[in-house]
Chain A
Amino acid sequence: MTDRQLDVLVICGSLRKGSYNAALARTLPALAPAGIKLRDAPPFERFPIYNFDIQHATGFPAEVNTWADAIRSADGLIIVSPEYNWSIPGGLKNAIDWVSRMKEQPFKDKPVALQSAAGGILGGSRMQYHLRQSLTSVDVILFGRPEVIVTFAAQKFDEKTLELKDQTAIDMIKLQLAAFEKFIRRVSAKE
């Protein structure tokens, strides 16, 4: 039996154009196994700061619904994010907070893998462990290993093109994506 190709959504936690994490996210399609097709999530940049009173008065903003629908329709998610102040970027957390309030909560039972890149020696790992903590709250199915933690990002991405040049990181990403495909197939609801 031939397995159908999996639809995996990539969410980037940084909004800046020159972001190493956005660059990391762009490398993924070329490194993914044939069984996975990657697509970028819609932006969360325009989400207002979460306020229950907005939700109650005017409902979920359109952008929030768009983001949630993209998550619901995906077979799995890869979140690629920087670390801000030893934790999750507020903007990304705000996006999670919004959709967490929905009926048919989109993260529920969704397989999720994490990646991060950062300039320092820890490579954004503290963000990843906080994200694991928060994503547990929204009931995802977290992928464990291998972890993709790109340390010393300035040395590993081309300064001008932002292309990932580090072979060790490239190999680790390939390993993760291949393992994530198996993981999704294993934990997905049986049809």
Chain B
Amino acid sequence: MANLNIVSICGSLRKGSFNAMVQRLLPSLAPDGMTIKPAPSFAEFPLYNADIQNSTGFPAPVNTLADAIRAADGVIFCSPEYNFSIPGGLKNAIDWVSRLQNQPFAGKPVALQSASAGPVGGARVQYDLRRAMMFLDAFTLNKPEIFIGNSASKFDEKTGELKDETTRGLIKQQLTAFAGLIARVAAKS
């Protein structure tokens, strides 16, 4: 398999986030040849306003994130669900980069993961992200889906270690399937 460079984007900014724990775990579960690194932060993005874009251009952190996405072979979102949908901050980041020329998600393979304290595991954030990604012409991986419910019982809150072997196995399967999707949809050179 060719070497694949993947960036992971965490939808939560809090340090103790379960989704950040998932994100940190990914490199250890990736198949051979797949490198997964965290994307640059969107924490300092202003809220999207076309007037900012038109007067002073895209803020530097927006370009930095967009460049990292463009340079990657694929993007993995690890995001909580806020109020039955996408966290506003993450959606704001997507809204910003969606306005760029050479829109970074176009043609980009994308995989989704979510963890939550409750039983549903963030299903609604994933389906809303799928819709936004479809509009942006990404290739979103179908299956397997990763919904990590009841996170508090599956992670060691101090070390961030995922203790649940079923979930670890599922993430490995997803990453392997993601490599397959990337191979299938990559532009032929």
Docked Cα-Cα span, A90 to B49, in Å, equals 11
Partner of B15, one of A53, A95, A135: A53
> Are A90 and B88 within 8 A (Cβ)?
yes
Within 8 Å CB of B91, what residues of A?
84-85, 87-90, 93-94
Partner of A88, one of B45, B85, B124: B85
Within 8 Å CB of B87, what residues of A?
50, 93-94, 97
> Are B14 and A133 within 8 A (Cβ)?
no
Q: Tell me whether A179 is interfacial, beta carbon within 8 Å.
A: no
Binds A, one of B21-29, B62-70, B132-140, B161-169: B132-140
Binds B, one of A27-35, A41-49, A110-118, A154-162: A41-49
Mask of A148-182 contacts with B, CB within 8 angstroms, 1/0 = 00000000000000000000000000000000000
> Are A86 and B84 within 8 A (Cβ)?
no
Partner of B84, one of A18, A50, A51, A133: A133
Residue ranges of B at the interface with A (Cβ–Cβ < 8 Å) = 12-15, 42-45, 47-51, 82-96, 98, 124, 128, 131-132, 134-136
Within 8 Å CB of B93, what residues of A?
90
> Are B85 and A130 within 8 A (Cβ)?
yes
Docked Cα-Cα span, A47 to B45, in Å, equals 11
Shortest CB-to-CB span from A19 to chain B, Å, is 8
Docked Cα-Cα span, A18 to B95, in Å, equals 18
> Are B128 and A130 within 8 A (Cβ)?
yes
Docked Cα-Cα span, A97 to B12, in Å, equals 12
Residue ranges of A at the interface with B (Cβ–Cβ < 8 Å) = 15-18, 44-45, 47, 49-53, 84-97, 100, 126, 130, 133-138
> Are B42 and A49 within 8 A (Cβ)?
yes
Within 8 Å CB of B15, what residues of A?
53
> Are B88 and A51 within 8 A (Cβ)?
no
Shortest CB-to-CB span from A127 to chain B, Å, is 11
> Are A91 and B85 within 8 A (Cβ)?
no
> Are B88 and A95 within 8 A (Cβ)?
yes
Docked Cα-Cα span, A50 to B94, in Å, equals 15
> Are B95 and A89 within 8 A (Cβ)?
yes
- Name A94's closest neighbour in chain B (CB-CB): B88
Within 8 Å CB of B136, what residues of A?
85
Docked Cα-Cα span, A141 to B45, in Å, equals 32
> Are B85 and A90 within 8 A (Cβ)?
no
Within 8 Å CB of A89, what residues of B?
48, 91-92, 95
Interface centre among A85, A96, A97, A134 (most CB of B within 10 A): A85
Known: A90-B89, A97-B87. A85 touches B98 (CB 8 A): yes
> Are B43 and A137 within 8 A (Cβ)?
no
> Are A86 and B132 within 8 A (Cβ)?
yes
Within 8 Å CB of B49, what residues of A?
15-16, 45, 91
Shortest CB-to-CB span from A51 to chain B, Å, is 4
> Are A94 and B47 within 8 A (Cβ)?
yes
Docked Cα-Cα span, A137 to B15, in Å, equals 24
Docked Cα-Cα span, A135 to B131, in Å, equals 18
Partner of A91, one of B44, B47, B51, B135: B47
> Are A84 and B95 within 8 A (Cβ)?
yes
> Are B85 and A94 within 8 A (Cβ)?
no
> Are B83 and A91 within 8 A (Cβ)?
no
